[in-house]
Structure 1
Amino acid sequence: MKKLLELACGLLSGLALFGIMVLTFFDVMGRKFANHSIPGSLEITELLMVVVIFGALPLVSNRGEHVEFDSLDPYLPGWLRKLQSVAVHLLCAVLLIGLGWLMLRTGAQFTETGETTAQLKIPKAPFIYGMGVLCALTGLVHLFMVAKPPVDRAEGEGAAL
């Protein structure tokens, strides 16, 4: 399951980031050499950034690569660190699943009203639905992480590989 998560979310985020790179390249080249930019390039970039960020969110949580304040960890007893880890993962799970549910409701509202982007008239609902699903998936990742022991890191060390 972990491999599927990494493949799907990594591919989704990677392709969206590559799309931003290609779009920016051709937009800059068009402005530089043809004195004309790609119409709606800002809207497309914004939508692709949503895909990059929310597509990577489950991976960041699964790898423990999110920003954390761990200055006091060396001074806390093991049982308290375990309790803290469980509480943080449960809180993150509840908040992310709740946020996912709210986004799915918003996506349904956008579908009903036909909400689109201003310039290119791209429907917003699929992106909101995607954000909701990926938030809920990230919440599930945190639920699975409740059972894992807290990670010990050396000073200045990033997430373990």
Structure 2
Amino acid sequence: MLSQPHTNAPGRIARIRRGAAFLLGLACLLVLAALIGLTCVDVIARYAFNSPVTGAYELTEILLATLIFLALPLTTAAGEHIEVELLDGMKSSILKRLGTMAAAICTIGVFAVIALEMADHAGKLARRGRVTDSLEIPLSLVGWLGAVSFGLSALAALYFFTKRFREKA
């Protein structure tokens, strides 16, 4: 017996979004815990044993960049970026809607362009074999994470603004 294909795409997209949000949130939690743990161990080792953690500064820099890149799609999907509402005083709902649409297109476009530029830069870092000074961690990993993050943010912005227009329609 053949089963009918499911055509519940919005439900599937919502499940994927929730799953991605959970995984990104969990990754943010782990990175933040690693940052806290590293800082605590480094301070204790520095002052109690006069022996700081080797590469703690580099690791802190990389973990901070990682945290920001992991949180960016979550912030975008939640619509929690800072907004300046220049068209608030306008009476025309059509002009407000057009302004919101223009802002959405700009946001998605900027995120997409940054994702492409970061991917290009990460590729250059990988080809040149660029690594951190003391721990020799490949810098291209951070670049690729940033590229994926901005790509996901572009998709999250598209989802957020599509949902926003459906609710207002």
TM-score range, shorter chain: 0.7 to 0.9
Give TM-score scaled by structure 1 length.
0.85
Q: How far off is 1:72 after superposition?
A: 5.4
1:66-77 aligned within 5 A = 66-70=81-85, 73=88, 75-77=90-92
Give TM-score scaled by structure 2 length.
0.82
Output the amino acid matched with 1:111. A
- Taking only the aligned residue pairs, the percentage that are identical comes to 27
- Aligned with 2:110 (options 83, 90, 95): 95
Is the contact made by 1:86 and 1:147 (CA closer than 8 Å) also made in structure 2? no
Q: Give structure 1 stretches of 5+ with no counterpart.
A: 151-161
Q: How far off is 1:16 after superposition?
A: 0.9
Say if 2:77 is the partner of 1:37: no
Q: Give structure 2 stretches of 5+ with no counterpart.
A: 1-15
- Structure 2 CA distance for aligned equivalents of residues 76 and 44 of structure 1: 52
| RMSD of Structure 2 on Structure 1 (CA) | 1.7
Structure number, greater radius of gyration: 2
Deviations 1:45-64 (A, max 9, x none): 11011111010001101111
Is the contact made by 2:62 and 2:142 (CA closer than 8 Å) also made in structure 1? yes
Which structure dedicates a bigger proportion of its chain to helix? 2
State the number of aligned residues: 150
